[in-house]
Amino acid sequence: MSPPSDRAELLSKVFQIYPTQLSVARSLLSQVCSIADSGTQNLDLGRFCKVDFLVLVPPSHVLVHQTAQRIRQSGVLVDLGIEDASTAHQKSDKYVVRLDGDVHVKMEAFMRKVKQNPYTLFVLIHDNSHVDLTSALSGSVCHGELQGVG
């Protein structure tokens, strides 16, 4: 096994946050905070004691595995207290859902979880960047369309 410093260096090379990703994350955080600060919306971020999330990806096994790997490498499951360090590596797949024929069942389960946990802030991430790029060339999918979910 390699020393911790070598693993950390390798991990920093493999898991890299690109400037565009950081910009989008900051923008999303800013939007959530502005909603919470406005008197017109009913969002009190202080009432949440946990955070949970689900990432929807296009129907590609490669994207599912790539996204799960990035979740594992980021350490976000442990940082948010969703999983402990010993199980986070095996459980990252359950936070990624393919937009395929099974998406309805998985979304219903997610919605049940949301309704049963009022003090958990749930974040639903729809990553359709790969679909939009390829569909723009073919004209097959409208921008932002959640395939199979209605």
Distance from chain centroid for Cα 8? 23
Neighbours of 77 (CB within 10 A): 22
pTM score of the predicted model = 0.68
Quickly count helices (H) and strands (E) in the chain: 7, 3
In this predicted model, what pLDDT tens digit does every residue of 56-110 receive, in sequence order?
998 888 989 988 988 888 888 888 888 888 888 888 889 999 988 888 999 999 9
Cβ proximity of 141 and 131 under 8 Å:
yes
φ, ψ of residue 130 to 5 degrees: the values are -70, -40
Task: Identify the helix (H) or strand (E) that includes residue 106.
Answer: helix 103-116
d(CA 119, CA 93) in angstroms, rounded, equals 24
| pLDDT of residue 1 exceeding 80 | no
| pLDDT of residue 29 exceeding 60 | yes
